[in-house]
């Protein structure tokens, strides 16, 4: 077995695995020799990815089509995962909205909280306890470039990512003492299905493959990674601005990306 499997254990759980960063990370983990439990809402896409990974890497892959925006979905995932010796959680499931906060249906904004925050919190708590009990494990949480300041025209999404970033920073030192690595991944714009669901027009982007490579390389070595040149360049451009200036600048960027009308 290679270093990552030796360090964390034979199985990895990837949420949001049907597309984008989640799928790219699943491919990297399969190449590393992990057996995989892949989770998303779309069974057909999960099945296609599972077949691809089994053929390419000869690893065991199981799929679970559930909605992590519901308590039933989260509890179902936790029950199903008990059958496997999972040593890594990659919580890549999430979505965003864009446009005026007041114009967005509140049901959409609450649903985003459920997926981006409540589900992440529940899974992190459950697997954090499992990993700490066995003395090893890895947890990958997805922050964002927008997590480090408020963002007009994407206010609630940025707030959900600020929650994830703060959670990762807080639990990292606690779990490190128990043998568990916690990594926050803060990409910039990425080519995936995210933009279409968020109602955004993307310009320059990094690829999901780049993000997946960056997080794999950072596991066990860093507590925060900004994968891809674009995320690094954007962060550098914001570094010397006061927080109010960062809010203004990100608002200008987002106003150019958000479509008019309904945020979804």
157 is catalytic: yes
* C-alpha–C-alpha distance, residues 80 and 72, integer Å: 12
Are the C-beta atoms of residues 226 and 239 closer than 8 Å to each other?
no
**Secondary structure percentages of the chain, helix, strand, coil, to 5:** 55, 15, 30
* C-alpha–C-alpha distance, residues 204 and 188, integer Å: 10
User: Which of these is catalytic: 8, 34, 131, 157?
Assistant: 157
Q: Please identify which residue in the block is written with the tokens 């860093």.
A: 222
Give CA angle at 49 (46, 55), nearest 5°: 140
For 139, 151, 232, the CA distances from 145, given in Å and listed in that order, are 19, 10, 9
Q: List the catalytic residues.
A: 157
């Amino acid at each position: 077995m290679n270093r990552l499997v030796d360090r964390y254990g034979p199985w990895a759980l990837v949420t949001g695995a049907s597309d984008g960063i989640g799928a790219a990370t699943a491919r990297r983990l399969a190449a590393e020799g992990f057996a995989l439990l892949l989770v998303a809402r779309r069974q057909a896409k999960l099945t296609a990815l599972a077949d691809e990974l089994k053929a390419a890497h000869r690893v065991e892959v199981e799929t679970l089509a559930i909605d992590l925006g519901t308590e039933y979905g989260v509890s179902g995932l936790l029950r199903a995962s008990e059958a496997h010796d999972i040593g890594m959680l990659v919580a890549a499931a999430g979505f965003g909205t864009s446009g005026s906060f007041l114009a967005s249906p509140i049901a959409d904004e609450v649903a985003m909280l459920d997926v981006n925050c409540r589900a992440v919190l529940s899974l992190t708590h459950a697997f954090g306890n499992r990993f700490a009990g066995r003395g090893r494990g890895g947890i990958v949480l997805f922050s964002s470039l927008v997590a480090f300041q408020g963002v007009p025209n994407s206010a609630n999404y940025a707030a959900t990512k600020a929650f994830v970033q703060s959670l990762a920073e807080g639990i990292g030192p606690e779990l490190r003492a128990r043998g568990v690595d916690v990594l926050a991944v803060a990409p910039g714009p990425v080519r995936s299905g995210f933009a279409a669901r968020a109602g955004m027009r993307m310009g320059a982007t990094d690829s999901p493959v780049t993000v997946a490579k960056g997080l794999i390389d950072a596991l066990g070595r860093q507590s925060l990674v900004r994968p891809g040149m674009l995320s690094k360049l954007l962060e550098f451009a914001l570094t010397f601005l006061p927080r109010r200036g960062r809010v203004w600048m990100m608002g200008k960027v987002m106003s150019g990306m958000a479509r008019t009308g309904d945020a979804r």
